[in-house]
């Protein structure tokens, strides 16, 4: 990854490089950075969420990921519908890690619609009696759905419903671990032949501070 980054930087510094080429080079660099982060995730299973997270706006992360994948989804004939709730409270997380989670979910949704379809992304606040409120992002596709016999296994490492060359089976497992380390949860509903919706929930506002501290203490004193 370091060697790739070096060559990408050299290409970007070429005086004859057009503005459009530089834009595409930046996209390549962003992906190299994401892959590097992905590898670091595999090597950092014990990293504390309390040390890495900070307050951020989930809507901003969603919009960044959608902009990044817009051209790719268009080529897949996928129409994106955004319904982002205004004035969401902050969540406590690392922006790059949340991007990784959403990139995985959106890419999976696109792959589940080989003939095109609609991808709906929504954010909202979920209130539950006796529990802290959560900020939720839902990702809904109109694709093939997940077969019932496979639904219990999709968060397991190396389990995938895709052909081998199209997936490692690591993405959803890592996504689930990232969300859990910030005191959140990820689940889904799926109807074979009709589509799938994933729900990512993160504690809203100051609730994350106590949750992250508790989880950190539990890891240090099992």
CATH number at residue 79: 3.30.565.10
Of 117, 124, 138, 135, the C-alpha closest to 188 is 138
The pLDDT of residue 168 is 46
Rounded CA separation 111/93 (Å): 27
Q: Who contacts 111 (Cβ-Cβ below 8 Å, separation ≥6)?
A: 143, 162, 166, 167
The pLDDT of residue 206 is 58
My answer on whether 27 and 68 are in the same domain is: no
My answer on whether 16 and 124 are in the same domain is: no
Predicted model pTM: 0.69
First vs last C-alpha separation in the chain: 35
Rounded CA separation 53/74 (Å): 32
Mean pLDDT, residues 37-64? 73
My answer on whether 7 and 98 are in the same domain is: no
Contact 194, 142 (CB under 8 A): yes
pLDDT of 220 strictly over 50: no
- Evaluate whether residue 136 is within a structural domain: yes
Contact 32, 1 (CB under 8 A): yes
- Evaluate whether residue 133 is within a structural domain: yes
146-165 pLDDT, tens digit per residue, is 888 887 778 776 545 555 44
- Evaluate whether residue 48 is within a structural domain: no
Give the domain extent around 12.
2-43
- Evaluate whether residue 199 is within a structural domain: yes
66-116 pLDDT, tens digit per residue, is 998 888 899 899 999 999 999 899 999 989 889 989 999 999 899 899 999
């Amino acid at each position: 990854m370091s060697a790739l980054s070096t060559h990408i930087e050299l290409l970007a510094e070429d005086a004859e490089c057009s503005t459009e080429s530089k834009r595409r080079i930046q996209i390549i660099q962003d992906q190299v950075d994401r892959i590097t982060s992905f590898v670091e995730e595999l090597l950092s299973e014990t990293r504390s969420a309390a040390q890495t997270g900070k307050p951020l706006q989930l809507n901003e992360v969603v919009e960044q990921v959608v902009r990044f994948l817009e051209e790719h989804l268009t080529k897949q004939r996928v129409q994106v519908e955004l319904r982002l709730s205004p004035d969401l409270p902050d969540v406590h997380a690392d922006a790059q890690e949340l991007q990784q989670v959403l990139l995985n979910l959106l890419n999976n949704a696109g792959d589940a619609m080989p003939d095109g379809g609609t991808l709906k992304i929504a954010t909202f606040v979920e209130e539950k009696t006796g529990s802290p409120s959560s900020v939720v992002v839902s990702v809904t596709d109109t694709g093939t759905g997940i077969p019932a016999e496979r639904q219990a296994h999709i968060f397991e490492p190396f389990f995938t419903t895709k052909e081998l060359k199209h997936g490692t089976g690591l993405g959803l497992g890592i996504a689930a671990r990232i969300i859990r380390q910030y005191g959140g949860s990820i689940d889904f509903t799926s109807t074979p032949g009709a589509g799938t919706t994933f729900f990512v929930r993160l504690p809203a506002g100051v609730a994350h501070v106590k949750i992250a501290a508790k989880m950190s203490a539990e890891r240090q004193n099992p």
